[in-house]
Amino acid sequence: MVTQVRADDRIAARVWEALAHVADPEIPAVSVIDMGMVERVDVAGGRVRVVVLPTFTGCPAVPQIEADVARAAQAVEGVVEARVEMSFDPPWTTDRITPDGRRRLRDFGLAPPEDGVPVLIASIGLPDRARCPFCGSRATRAESMFGPTPCRAVFYCDACRNPFEQFKPV
C-alpha cells in the first residue's frame, strides 16, 4: 500500500515535469505550467487525472491543449491511463501566471499582465500604462481592449513607437 502511494507520488511528480514542456498552442514560448493552467494532478494506481483551467472560456486553443496535456501525461513512465478534465473551478485568473511565465511572455513580445492583478471583478480592466515588452518604457497607451485573440489587448509605445500586445488582465 505504502509502496503504491510512493509510486503514485513519483508518477505525479513526473507528470508535472512533463507538463512543463506542453506549450500553449497560441503562445508557444510558455507552457501550461508557466500559465498556471494546471490546477491539480491526481494519481491512483497509475491512473492519472489532470485538472486544467482554460484561460479564456472561448479560447479556440482549449481542445488542442486538452489533447496535448493528455498525450504528455500518457507518455510518462508508469502511467496506466491519463484523463484530462477542463474545469472553471476555480476560475483561471492572470495572477496564476508564474514569474517564469511572465518573463517568457515578455521575451516573446507580449506584455504580461501586471503582477498580482486583478482579483476583484470590478478592478478588471487594462492598465493605463502597460510596460512595453520591447523597450521597457511605460510611456504607452491602450489602443484597444480587443486584439487578435480573446486574451490580448493592443497598446502603443510612444517611446519606441511600436504597437504591442498585452495579455489581458482577467
Q: List residues binding another protein (CB under 8 A).
A: 56-60, 87-93, 121, 124-125, 143-148, 150, 154, 168, 170
Residue 49 — φ and ψ, nearest 5°? -125, 120
The C-alpha atoms of residue 33 and residue 10 are separated, in whole angstroms, by 18
**H/E segment holding residue 118:** none
Which residue, 20 or 142, is less far from another protein as judged by CB?
A: 142
Helix (H, G, I), strand (E, B) or coil at 33: coil
Which residue, 46 or 150, is less far from another protein as judged by CB?
A: 150
Q: Give the Å distances, CA to CA, from 74 to 15, 16, 17, 145.
A: 9, 12, 13, 38
Which residue, 59 or 97, is less far from another protein as judged by CB?
A: 59
Which residue, 88 or 116, is less far from another protein as judged by CB?
A: 88
Which residue, 2 or 122, is less far from another protein as judged by CB?
A: 122
Give me the least distance between CB of 103 and another protein, in Å please. Answer: 24
- 31-40 CB burial, b ≥16 within 10 A, e <16: bbbbbbbbee
Give me the least distance between CB of 145 and another protein, in Å please. Answer: 5
CA 141 to chain CA mean position, Å: 25
Give me the least distance between CB of 67 and another protein, in Å please. Answer: 13
Single out the residue of 76, 72, 85 nearest to residue 7, CA to CA: 76
Give me the least distance between CB of 160 and another protein, in Å please. Answer: 21
Give me the least distance between CB of 168 and another protein, in Å please. Answer: 7
